[in-house]
Amino acid sequence: MLKPLVDDDGAPYFEYAAKGELRMQTCANCGEVLFPPRPMCPRCQGVDFEWKLMSGRGHVWSFAVPHPPLLPDYAALAPYPVVVVELAEDRRLRVVGNLLASEDAGIDSVDPATIEIGQPVRAVFREIEGLFVAAWTPDE
Amino acid sequence: MNPTPLKDRAAIVGIGQTEFAKHLEPSEKALACRAIAMALDDAGIPAHEVDAFAAYTMEATDEVEIAKAVGAGDVTFFSRVGFGGGGSCATVGHLAMAIATGQAEVGVAWRSRKRGSGPRPWTDTVNQLATPAQWTRPFGLLRPVDEIAVLTRRYMHEYGMTREQLGAVALACRNRANANPAAIMYDRPLTMADYLSARMISDPLCLFDNCLETDGALAVVMVSAERAVDCRREPVYVHAFGQGLPAQHHGMVNYWNDDPLAGPSWTAAKQLWKHADFGPADVDVAQIYDAFTPLIPLSLEGYGFCAKGEGGAFADDGGLELGGRLPVNTSGGGLSEAYVHGFNLITEGVRQLRGTSTNQVAGASTCLVTAGEAVPTSAVLLRRD
């Protein structure tokens, strides 16, 4: 599986994810929450950031179900759903991730036919070769 | 000061193309040179007069190698445009600006690509994983089609677009290709039943929602309006040009702004129409970038041919066919003629205004050509006298 590339701007995301926290880059000057991370706040040009704790709640904004041809590791699991989740905090915070039947389940564990746009989800965390990222599971 | 110094100041006077196929033997460099030589011959301009080049950043061969091989003279303008298929019309636009401002006199734009027999770019996971792809690809949105599939499902949810409407887009392109001997799908008819039963590539998009994988090369030659009248062919003028990189846009995964369903087309369109003497209702024929079928409804909305959310329904009742609301992709487009990063849409636009298309729209005098929606994009409005 592809491992996310950790760069200067996004590194804290992965450090917090390893602790089971979904945190987003936030401008220390004006409070704008930014995703994906970047070196400057586009609203006030601030260069100092905090990482704000999110509730981990959101809903499915859309999803795709890839079929082959795919990279071999992904083809082996296809078709699998990939969701874009709109975080409860801000509609522009839309995060791409996998929808899992439960925290330890695979990326092909949810039947795509059961997924609905708007359905509530909550963050769980999974490991990709030593790196932790948020994934999503159906919420009540 | 002239408020629209670009308008009709430059013209396309030559077009050239190699054959299109899943596999061609010559290299991309060799194919590029052949297409350029054909375009110069079409224009009746000797190679040593070429003093400007414009190409995509994804082009494998640089201007130095091309100029040296085709026999260009001293080159005083050369430009590259990024973002894959979003750069197609910008190559023409940049040459028009160079010619209109006196930086060059004879410009060549080209695209040569062996996407049919060469590698798929998304399999290059080292170079494809940098920002912001690390936030999407590891989770399985590996290919452009996966990124567009997410937007498509949202569009269907918000506006009720149907698979039949996307099928109508695919069929419009295929029907034109079936009358174009140069098209890869010339002898391969497609029915709605074929479309609806095709295998999925990234649900909700199926095989026929995807463009072809093609080897081929194309080129255009451009000069000033003054010189164009003395060329071998009837001039096709660049009436207006626009590029678009919207505020807070992110590559093709345009999910992180207020409205991901209003993409770069909207920005390019605003610039394009600002300087045009006519509007969408006056466009006789359009060549709309079609790496994937949903890019056509999204682009029709962005360029103002219908209201937001009505792009799917625009394809109903033959809306995109010859004689419809707006005939599109009259050579078959990327879906059914050849996928050469949208450059074949430019040459077909020229043929329509010369009156030489194999799917000629009677009396066509204006044509919109667009580059890829969803990525930073560009468009040109072409017209004839």
- Domain ranges in chain B are 10-116+212-383
Q: Rounded to an integer, what distance in angstroms lies between the CA atom of residue A30 and that of residue A26?
A: 8
Please list the residues that pair with B217 across neighbouring strands.
Answer: B112
In the numeric block, which tokens belong to residue B237?
A: 């003028």
Say if residue B252's pLDDT is above 90. Answer: no
What pLDDT, on a 0 to 100 scale, did the predictor assign at position A134?
A: 96
What pLDDT, on a 0 to 100 scale, did the predictor assign at position A34?
A: 94
Q: What percentage of chain B carries pLDDT values higher than 90? A: 91
Q: Which chain A residues have a beta carbon less than 8 Å from that of B134?
A: 4-7, 10
Q: Which chain B residues have a beta carbon less than 8 Å from that of A82?
A: 139-141, 146, 150
ipTM over 0.95: yes
Give me the catalytic one of B56, B195, B303, B339: B339
To the nearest 10 degrees (0 to 180), the angle between helices B343-354 and B88-100 is 60
How high is the mean pLDDT of chain A?
Answer: 96
Q: Is residue A133 part of a domain?
A: yes
Say if residue B298's pLDDT is above 80. Answer: yes
In the numeric block, which tokens belong to residue A97?
A: 């991730």
B273 Cβ under 8 Å from any chain A Cβ: no
Question: Are the C-beta atoms of A72 and A99 separated by less than 8 Å?
Answer: no
What pLDDT, on a 0 to 100 scale, did the predictor assign at position B258?
A: 86
The reply to whether residue B200 touches residue A79, judged by beta carbons under 8 angstroms, is: yes
The reply to whether residue B125 touches residue A2, judged by beta carbons under 8 angstroms, is: yes
Number of helices (H), then strands (E), in chain B = 12, 11
Q: Is residue A95 part of a domain?
A: yes
The reply to whether residue B138 touches residue A2, judged by beta carbons under 8 angstroms, is: yes
Top residue of A24, A25, A43, A65 to mutate, by most chain B CBs within 10 Å, is A65
- Scan residues 191-210 of B and list those with Cβ closer than 8 Å to A: 199-204
Q: How far is B248 from chain A (nearest CA, A)?
A: 9
Residue of B nearest to A83 (CA): B150
Q: Catalytic: B255?
A: no
Contacts of B64 by beta carbon, 8 Å cutoff, 6+ apart: none
B328 vs A91, residue with greater confidence = B328
Top residue of B127, B134, B200, B249 to mutate, by most chain A CBs within 10 Å, is B134
Domain limits for position A64: 11-138
Q: Which chain A residues have a beta carbon less than 8 Å from that of B125?
A: 2, 71
Pairing of strands B285-287, B366-370: parallel
How many beta-carbon contacts under 8 Å exist across A and B?
115
What pLDDT, on a 0 to 100 scale, did the predictor assign at position B5?
A: 87
- At B264, is the pLDDT very low, low, confident or very high (cuts 50, 70, 90)? very high
Q: What percentage of chain B carries pLDDT values higher than 70? A: 99
Q: Which chain A residues have a beta carbon less than 8 Å from that of B157?
A: 62, 117
- Scan residues 65-84 of B and list those with Cβ closer than 8 Å to A: none
- Tens-digit pLDDT profile for residues B107-124: 999 999 999 999 888 888
A14 Cβ under 8 Å from any chain B Cβ: no
Question: Once rounded to an integer, what is the mean pLDDT over residues A106-116?
Answer: 97
In the numeric block, which tokens belong to residue A52?
A: 């704000």
A117 Cβ under 8 Å from any chain B Cβ: yes
Q: Catalytic: B289?
A: yes
- At B288, is the pLDDT very low, low, confident or very high (cuts 50, 70, 90)? very high
pTM of the model: 0.97
Question: Are the C-beta atoms of B168 and B320 separated by less than 8 Å?
Answer: yes
Question: Once rounded to an integer, what is the mean pLDDT over residues B228-239?
Answer: 96
| B250-283 exposure pattern, b = at least 16 Cβ within 10 A, e = fewer | bbbbbbbeeebbbbbbbbbbebbbebbeeebeeb
Say if residue B306's pLDDT is above 90. Answer: yes
Q: Is residue A4 part of a domain?
A: no
Q: Rounded to an integer, what distance in angstroms lies between the CA atom of residue A99 and that of residue B95?
A: 47
- At B126, is the pLDDT very low, low, confident or very high (cuts 50, 70, 90)? confident
Contacts of A34 by beta carbon, 8 Å cutoff, 6+ apart: A24, A25, A26, A27, A41, A42, A49
- Scan residues 38-77 of A and list those with Cβ closer than 8 Å to B: 42, 61-67, 69-71, 74
Q: Rounded to an integer, what distance in angstroms lies between the CA atom of residue B247 and that of residue B264?
A: 9
Domain count, chain A: 1
What pLDDT, on a 0 to 100 scale, did the predictor assign at position B1?
A: 56
DSSP strands (E only) in chain B = 10-17, 52-56, 77-81, 107-114, 200-203, 205-206, 215-224, 236-244, 285-287, 366-370, 377-383
Give me the catalytic one of B195, B237, B289, B303: B289
Residue of A nearest to B149 (CA): A64
The reply to whether residue A70 touches residue B143, judged by beta carbons under 8 angstroms, is: yes
Q: What percentage of chain A carries pLDDT values higher than 90? A: 94
- At B2, is the pLDDT very low, low, confident or very high (cuts 50, 70, 90)? low
- Tens-digit pLDDT profile for residues B184-206: 999 999 999 999 999 999 999 99
Say which CATH superfamily domain B10-116+212-383 falls into. Answer: Thiolase/Chalcone synthase (3.40.47.10)
- Tens-digit pLDDT profile for residues B13-53: 999 999 999 999 999 999 999 999 999 999 999 999 999 99
Q: How far is B147 from chain A (nearest CA, A)?
A: 8
Sheet holding B366-370, edge to edge: B77-81, B52-56, B107-114, B215-224, B10-17, B236-244, B377-383, B366-370, B285-287
The reply to whether residue A64 touches residue B250, judged by beta carbons under 8 angstroms, is: no
- Tens-digit pLDDT profile for residues B52-95: 999 999 999 999 999 999 999 999 999 999 999 999 999 999 99
The reply to whether residue A67 touches residue B202, judged by beta carbons under 8 angstroms, is: yes
Q: How far is A94 from chain B (nearest CA, A)?
A: 6
Q: Is residue A5 part of a domain?
A: no
Q: How far is B157 from chain A (nearest CA, A)?
A: 8
